[in-house]
Amino acid sequence: MRPVQTKGKTAVDEAAPDSPVAAGSGSVQQAYERICSTIMDHTLPPGTRLIEHRLCEIFGLGRTRVRQVLQRLANERLVTLLPNRGAEVSKPTPQDALDIFEARRLLEPGIVEKFLQVAKRADMQRIRDHLAQEKAAWRVNDRRAMIRLSGEFHLIIAEVAGNATLLELMRELVSRSSLIVGLYQAPGTQSCPPDEHQELVAALEKRLPEAAGLMLHHLQHVLDGLQLAEQRPRGVDLRAVLGAH
């Protein structure tokens, strides 16, 4: 590359992929959040190829920083790294779906029981406020907010329960569940409808032991709404999806 003089300092007229000049215009955290949110709301469906040089162009990052983003997403099981082929949005199989919902059915009733033991008035108010946000998103049919808030509902219960290890497990399970719902949800069905959350919140407020059973029923209902057959990924324009704000 040819050096050029600017105000007495040497610069480069074409930044290398990993140079501060190339990377300075973007943020690793912003790129992570953008890709994560578009995966979670299914704008980037399972199987979408995440091409490094395109991501560098879209986010103004060098390859090293883009790879950091992809590695973080891979650690969270949202992205699969392909040897010598870059990365793609993870494609959970029907067996993955069964395994993940089995794990949730084993974990979440116990988390609800712990919530009932430790939740304070402020925690109950927090979950009521969150439910109100869910209902507002459903009224205006904001799919992105609906999916995000539905997952967060389950994470709030786990957070209040106070077991950091279980919360970490739940974060991964909820993220992977979102991919599964996007891939396999049957047409015309509703995932995590707020009326089921409303019933659960009512039981939590009254400290009813039946709340654990309601959670189990709710998770089974979500699983029953899936059509567990292999789906073919559709093509996606990365710039159209990730470049829009």
The string of pLDDT tens digits covering residues 29-83 is 999 989 988 887 778 888 899 999 999 999 999 999 999 999 999 988 889 998 8
pLDDT-derived band at 242 (thresholds 50, 70, 90) equals confident
**pLDDT computed for residue 3 by the predictor:** 37
| Among 65, 70, 34, 33, CA closest to 50 | 70
Compute the distance between CA of residue 159 and CA of residue 73 in angstroms, rounded to an integer: 21
**pLDDT computed for residue 180 by the predictor:** 87
**What CATH number was assigned to the domain covering residues 94-224?**
1.20.120.530
Domains 20-91 and 94-224 share a fold: no
Compute the distance between CA of residue 55 and CA of residue 23 in angstroms, rounded to an integer: 12
pLDDT tens-digit map of 177-222: 888 887 787 766 666 777 899 999 999 999 999 999 999 999 999 9
Residue 77, phi-psi category: left (phi > 0), alpha (psi -120 to 50), beta (remainder)? left
For the entire predicted model, the pTM comes to 0.72
pLDDT tens-digit map of 145-189: 787 888 899 999 999 999 999 999 999 999 888 888 877 877 666
Kindly report the CATH class assigned to 20-91. Answer: mainly alpha
pLDDT tens-digit map of 76-134: 888 999 887 789 999 899 999 999 999 999 999 999 999 999 999 999 999 999 999 99
Q: What's the chain's average pLDDT?
A: 83
Residue 12 has pLDDT above 50, yes or no: no
**pLDDT computed for residue 136 by the predictor:** 93
**pLDDT computed for residue 225 by the predictor:** 87
How many C-beta neighbours within 10 Å does residue 239 have? 12
Domain residue extents for the chain: 20-91, 94-224
